[in-house]
Structure 1
Amino acid sequence: MGHVEINGAPACVEALHRAATWNYGHFTSMQARRRTVAGLDLHLRRLREASADLFPERTPPADRTIVELIEHALGAARDASVRVTVLPAAADPTATDVMVSVSDPVPDTPGEPLRVRTIVYERELPHLKHVATMGLTYHYRAARRAGFDDVLFTTRNGQVSEGSVWNVAFWDGERVIWPDAPQLAGITMQVLRLGLKKLGVPYEQRRLSTAALAGMRAAAAVNSHCPNQPIAAVDDVALPDHRTLTGLLREAWQQVPWDTVAAGRQPGSDS
């Protein structure tokens, strides 16, 4: 499985070249299961707010239009990886184009615990999931060459922020801790917070220095591919006791209903 559509039509070479050359836009990624998506309304809000930020002079795509384009691109597929990218339209300076990429689904089961290293890196416009990803990809590849599995970013003043393409959750033995630093508010992180609240599991967002990680018992990477990927170590800080945290995150993930991808759905409707 794998194809790309722009505004509901198969993407031509010229359109793909333009998207790659301009390198200006934003996107959101999701996993579809049985034609439902976790946090679909959160994805739509992300696209709406990012469009207002990056394209204030252009008309943003309506939520209904985006859902229709996702539904169309899925075709007969029930399970898939979906990426929705909003780009400036070439022919109309007041409009935007919506590119929907569909590929094989990714299993959401955790892999072996990750060994990650920290690096000082702050994404431009960190609150946006934008297409300028060279920096984070460079640092991910550098970490892999150095023998690590992935990379965890810190700010210039030593505060933990986010992973390469994931948010990070920590467990201090009593509550889930999310770093408070400039970062992307990941959809999976938002869904997990809703689930944790339903379970009555305490969580908080606070500033975390790299030195503070020695006081944590566990850590996990969370994104649309997996809501509870355990982290074995950050630099030389071992975090081996991940079962409580990853179990809570998995249970929280299961608390939130998935939304049906259908043009006629109402915002906030359950699957």
Structure 2
Amino acid sequence: MPTETSLFPAALDGRAVDAADLSPLAFAGFAHFTAIQVRDRKIRGLDLHLKRLHNASLDFFGRALPEDLLRSRIRQAVNAGPPDQSLAVTIFSPKGEFTADSMQGDLSVLVRGGPPSNGPKGPLRLAVVEHERPHATIKHVGESGKTYYLHQAIRAGFDDAAFINRQGRLSEASIWNLVFWDGEAVIWPKAEMLTGTMMGTVQRQLERLGVPQRQEEITLERLETLSGAAVMNSWTPGIAVSAIGSMAFPDARAFMDLLHRAHAAEPAEHV
């Protein structure tokens, strides 16, 4: 009987990995990644994933891998696994951490497959936590704060946590981008945060659909005037949020339908 490992093989620099390959990564915290959903061996927003990996590599390592190499590594994983799967593409220095050696030499690519996901059903209730992710614009590993505040939120009776910065502005949630609705326009928080690949695909498709959207500094007081809230990440273009802290939101079905329609308009492509 096939195991999950055999169904979703992992590859390091294009070859199968073993325990010796993975042991240096057990406690690794200096690496960045992107999370991809594959459906029918196709990917939506592939260009945004590749751009994320390129820019984060320049920020972290001062150098980046060629796009054709990254495409090759992703293609290998797509073809090796089932038609529908989740992929995590992680880039790191084999020289390790806490050393100047990692500033030089080749970078490695670890591609891991797993079962496809569409995220939780929702709606979600989010606790408000004052937290600013380090290197917030980069999707990097080693962020204990996201899980820590998720657990704290659940203990307090919520489903997850939304982050608010020192200026009192909402930025993002634990593993999600936040997005809001005022009844006419889609509103994105204006704060230091990660620009998600799902966020990018939805934004450009909303523009093509002629839907008004804008960035705005979202305070807790501003929430009282909004008509809907949602979270999104690589799993899904939108899960309804029913409350942020003590602020409850109405069932904005039209808003959710709009987010999902925008995502569906994004062409899926082979790698």
Q: Is the 8 A contact 1:218 1:241 kept in 2?
A: yes
Q: Is the 8 A contact 1:198 1:255 kept in 2?
A: no
Q: Which residue of the partner structure matches residue 161 of structure 1?
A: 171
Pairing of 1:38-53 with structure 2 (within 5 A): 38-53=44-59
Q: Which residue of the partner structure matches residue 178 of structure 1?
A: 188
Q: Which residue of the partner structure matches residue 70 of structure 1?
A: 74
Quote the offset at 1:176 in angstroms.
0.5
TM (norm. structure 2) is: 0.91
Quote the offset at 1:76 in angstroms.
4.6
* 1:218 and 2:228 matched: yes
Q: Which residue of the partner structure matches residue 4 of structure 2?
A: none
* C-alpha distance in 2 between matches for 1:216 and 1:2: 42
Quote the offset at 1:217 in angstroms.
0.9
Q: Which residue of the partner structure matches residue 29 of structure 1?
A: 35
Can you give the 5+ residue segments of structure 2 that lack an aligned partner in the other structure?
1-6
TM (norm. structure 1) is: 0.91
* SS of alignment partner, residue 216 of structure 1: coil
Segment drifting more, 184-193 vs 247-256: 247-256
* C-alpha distance in 1 between matches for 2:202 and 2:56: 22
Q: Which amino acid aligns with 1:22?
A: A
* 1:87 and 2:97 matched: no
* C-alpha distance in 2 between matches for 1:121 and 1:36: 35
* C-alpha distance in 1 between matches for 2:212 and 2:170: 20
Q: Is the 8 A contact 2:8 2:81 kept in 1?
A: no
* 1:256 and 2:266 matched: yes
Show CA shifts across 1:10-44 (max 9, x none). Answer: 22212212123332110000100111111101100
* C-alpha distance in 1 between matches for 2:29 and 2:19: 15
Q: Which residue of the partner structure matches residue 104 of structure 1?
A: 115
* C-alpha distance in 2 between matches for 1:188 and 1:22: 26
* SS of alignment partner, residue 153 of structure 1: strand
Q: Which amino acid aligns with 2:115?
A: D
Q: Which residue of the partner structure matches residue 244 of structure 2?
A: 234
Instruction: Provide runs of 4+ in structure 1 moved above 4 Å.
Output: none
Match of 1:149 among 148, 156, 159: 159
* C-alpha distance in 2 between matches for 1:210 and 1:147: 19
Pairing of 1:115-134 with structure 2 (within 5 A): 115-134=125-144
Quote the offset at 1:63 in angstroms.
1.3
* SS of alignment partner, residue 18 of structure 1: helix
* SS of alignment partner, residue 124 of structure 1: coil
Alignment identity in percent?
Answer: 36
* C-alpha distance in 2 between matches for 1:210 and 1:252: 27
Q: Is the 8 A contact 2:9 2:81 kept in 1?
A: no
* C-alpha distance in 1 between matches for 2:179 and 2:259: 9
Segment drifting more, 63-72 vs 116-125: 63-72
Q: Which residue of the partner structure matches residue 65 of structure 2?
A: 61
* SS of alignment partner, residue 254 of structure 1: helix
Segment drifting more, 4-13 vs 41-50: 4-13
Cα 1:17–1:252 shift into 2, 3 Å: same
Q: Which residue of the partner structure matches residue 10 of structure 1?
A: 16
Please tell me the root mean square deviation across aligned C-alpha atoms, in Å.
1.5
Can you give the 5+ residue segments of structure 1 that lack an aligned partner in the other structure?
262-271
Q: Is the 8 A contact 1:231 1:242 kept in 2?
A: no
Segment drifting more, 66-75 vs 168-177: 66-75
Q: Is the 8 A contact 2:81 2:113 kept in 1?
A: no
* C-alpha distance in 2 between matches for 1:71 and 1:21: 27
